[in-house]
Structure 1
């Protein structure tokens, strides 16, 4: 299978991040999430499908966001979004907060063989409380925010204990000498492996830990029917690794921070 920009854009647009502990604010042309305090941000636009002129549609999203309380709205511009959206956000005070890009890899012939790490990495699927907690701690180190409450971690472990063996996805945690040092998630949806949260603690980078977590997720995805792997990465960190392992960049998907004051 040869991946096209159209196919990747459609797969990216279908990927709507909606954690079960978020407050969902929806209208006909948009969805906004308000996140609990332990996330690293408060408000996020996760879908935008305007039916009419762009400028009034953007204004409607911002007007609704202002009623929700937090002072800043995060808005990621997808490669399939309407032309001119970046200019509209910039005109309203939006500034690029994170310069993400969307990358994809063809898994139709199976997962690629990646170079092994230079250290003995142990990988565990996060299907119990302790492993879920370890993975969440690594994410906080890499991405910020705070550890979720224990009740949230317990629910995640219970969900993963069902989803992972069923082939729907889960989270891997990497250990060196018994210490959690890396993590990464995967969800297999309609033949697409959505890769999330790939991060390694700063002191353990450069040893192939990220690559080991990536390889295991791709193997899992291919074994469970995925023909495309999709990831929204930071070009300054994970992007070069992904390119070296066979991923192709299809475009920039920057996250804008818009003041709501």
Structure 2
């Protein structure tokens, strides 16, 4: 974990750190061990994840003991490796411990925040971009397909699960809890991004564009629509964890400020 010494864009570090810590997500059908000092998730098969995820690790218990506990859970589940996240509030000895155990750096995310109490950023959304929301099985399939193309992971679940996910997405959208935005160019779905409304915080996640459509404003369009919905539903802060090499530069240009980094490591179970 690293912090931005510049302090970001005027929002207090404490608020951003608290919002980031409160942001934990996993699907209802995941197998989860959730405690204050340890959160380990066994993802459903349709996620096609490389192994269980350690989403939080740190507390009064020594870090090596907690890590060993997470590995024991993964071993019990038959996994060969785990993905360990070093979050903003991770203990300082976690990253060195992972290095000692030959963990491989997998992903680096900037933790960005944007004050939503003022005017929204002008994102110059292309006029030929069509924006909509995930509301049914068909759009659910499109969101998942975009994620597979953009991030190289995931899979399409059975039709019954698509129907269930579509119904949940529609209910969430109508209730003001958020959902996933879809962007189309010439009728083809090319980008998607998720939003979860958590009291006054807009959690932006999963923003991705299929490789063939990158550089054409689709990401900006998906971002603009999510910010519009967030403000409409009472959010005063937008929080997003953006990949350093892809969405990070777009978010900075849109006015988001970085408050630190989070990194994931792949660690063999042994």
TM-score by shorter chain over 0.5: yes
Q: 2:144 is matched with which residue?
A: 136
Q: Of 11, 14, 18, which residue of structure 1 is paired with 2:22? A: 14
Q: Of 156, 165, 182, which residue of structure 1 is paired with 2:174? A: 165
Q: Of 58, 61, 71, which residue of structure 2 is paired with 1:62? A: 71
Q: 1:212 is matched with which residue?
A: 221
* Contact kept? 2:144, 2:154, Cα under 8 Å: no
Map of 1:232-247 to 2, 5 A cutoff? 232-247=241-256
CA distance, structure 2, for counterparts of residue 82 and residue 19 of structure 1:
26
**1:47 offset after TM fit, Å?**
2.3
Tell me, yes or no, if structure 1 residue 254 matches structure 2 residue 266. no
Q: 1:39 is matched with which residue?
A: 47
The secondary structure found in structure 2 opposite 1:253 is strand
Q: Which deviates further from its counterpart, 237-246 or 101-110?
A: 101-110
* Contact kept? 1:141, 1:201, Cα under 8 Å: yes
Tell me, yes or no, if structure 1 residue 150 matches structure 2 residue 159. yes
Runs of 4+, deviation exceeding 6 Å: none
CA distance, structure 1, for counterparts of residue 22 and residue 232 of structure 2:
22
Q: 1:50 is matched with which residue?
A: 59
**1:158 offset after TM fit, Å?**
0.8
CA distance, structure 1, for counterparts of residue 263 and residue 48 of structure 2:
17
Map of 1:119-134 to 2, 5 A cutoff? 120-134=128-142
CA distance, structure 2, for counterparts of residue 228 and residue 59 of structure 1:
36
Tell me, yes or no, if structure 1 residue 80 matches structure 2 residue 89. yes
**1:110 offset after TM fit, Å?**
4.6
CA distance, structure 2, for counterparts of residue 217 and residue 131 of structure 1:
16
Q: Deviations over 1:13-69 (max 9, x none)?
A: 100111112111345621211112222413101222422322222222222222221
**1:200 offset after TM fit, Å?**
0.7
Q: Which deviates further from its counterpart, 146-155 or 72-81?
A: 146-155
Q: Deviations over 1:159-199 (max 9, x none)?
A: 12111122110111111111111100100102111111101
The secondary structure found in structure 1 opposite 2:84 is strand
* Contact kept? 1:10, 1:80, Cα under 8 Å: no
Q: 1:5 is matched with which residue?
A: 13
Structure 1, gaps ≥5 residues long = none
Structure 2, gaps ≥5 residues long = 1-8
Q: 1:96 is matched with which residue?
A: 105
The secondary structure found in structure 1 opposite 2:44 is coil
* Matched residues, number: 260
Residue 40 and residue 101 in structure 1: after superposition, are their counterparts in 2 closer, same or farther (change >3 A)? farther
Q: 2:6 is matched with which residue?
A: none
CA distance, structure 2, for counterparts of residue 209 and residue 11 of structure 1:
27
The secondary structure found in structure 2 opposite 1:100 is strand
The TM-score with structure 2 as length reference comes to: 0.91
**1:81 offset after TM fit, Å?**
1.4
